[in-house]
Amino acid sequence: MANIGIDLGTTNSLVAVVMGQTPRVLLDDDGRSMTPSAVRYTGAKQADGSDAPPMIGWDALDNAVDHAETTLTSVKRFMGRSLDEARKVAEELHYTLAEGEGHDVVRIQAGDKVVTPVEVSAWILRLLYMRANECLMAEPTGVVITVPAYFDDAQRQATRDAGKLAGMNVLRLLNEPTAAALAYGLQENSQGTYAVFDLGGGTFDISVLELTEGVFQVLSTAGDTRLGGDDFDRELAKLILSKAGIENAKGSVLRAAMEAAEQAKRDLTAGEIAAISVELGGQSVQMQITRAEFNDLIRPIAERTLKSCKQALADAEMEPADMDGVVLVGGSTRVPLVREIVEEFFGQKPLSNLDPDKVVALGAALQADILTGSSELSDDLLLMDVVPLSLGVETMGGVVERLIWRSSPIPVTASETFTTQVDGQNAVDLHVLQGERELAKDNRSLARFKLKGIPDMPAGLPRVKVTFTVDADGILSVSATEQYTKTHAEIEVQPSYGLSDDEIENMLESAIDNAESDVDQRLLIEARVEAQQVLAVVDKSVKADVDLLGGNETQVISQVSDALREACESDDRKRIQELTTKLDEVTAPFAQRRIERDLKLALEGQDALQVLDVLDRTVKAAEDAAN
List, for residues 515-559, the tens digit of each pLDDT value: 555 556 657 777 887 888 889 888 888 888 888 888 888 889 999
201-229 average pLDDT score? 86
In 3D space, the residue among 145, 143, 134, 139 whose CA is nearest the CA of residue 28 turns out to be 134
213 is catalytic: no
List the catalytic residue out of 119, 152, 161, 176.
176
Query: What domains appear along the chain, each with residue ranges and CATH number?
Result: 1-184+354-378 (3.30.420.40), 187-353 (3.30.420.40), 391-500 (2.60.34.10), 516-626 (1.20.1270.10)
Strand order in the sheet with 96-98: 96-98, 107-110, 113-115
List the catalytic residue out of 119, 161, 198, 262.
198
- CB of 331 closer than 8 Å to CB of 339: no
349 is catalytic: no
Q: Please state, in angstroms and as integers, the Cα–Cα distance from residue 327 to each residue in 204, 321, 324, 342, following that order.
A: 13, 14, 10, 10
In 3D space, the residue among 135, 127, 125 whose CA is nearest the CA of residue 164 turns out to be 125
For residue 402, pLDDT beyond 70 = yes
Least confident interval from 234-238, 590-594, 614-618: 614-618
Where is pLDDT greater, at 398 or 16? 16
What is the C-alpha to C-alpha distance for residues 10 and 89, in angstroms, rounded to an integer?
15
Question: Directed axis angle between helix 516-544 and helix 553-568, to 10°?
Answer: 150
What pLDDT, on the 0 to 100 scale, is given for residue 376?
A: 62
List, for residues 603-619, the tens digit of each pLDDT value: 666 555 555 565 565 55
List the catalytic residue out of 69, 76, 265, 385.
76
7 is catalytic: yes
Q: What is the pTM of this model?
A: 0.72
What is the C-alpha to C-alpha distance for residues 16 and 34, in angstroms, rounded to an integer?
11
Confidence band (pLDDT; 50, 70, 90) for 623? Answer: low
List, for residues 429-472, the tens digit of each pLDDT value: 888 888 877 778 877 788 787 888 888 888 778 888 999 998 87
- CB of 39 closer than 8 Å to CB of 72: yes
Where is pLDDT greater, at 618 or 13? 13
For residue 158, pLDDT beyond 50 = yes
What pLDDT, on the 0 to 100 scale, is given for residue 626?
A: 47
76 is catalytic: yes
List the catalytic residue out of 7, 69, 119, 259.
7
What is the C-alpha to C-alpha distance for residues 523 and 187, in angstroms, rounded to an integer?
37
Confidence band (pLDDT; 50, 70, 90) for 627? Answer: very low
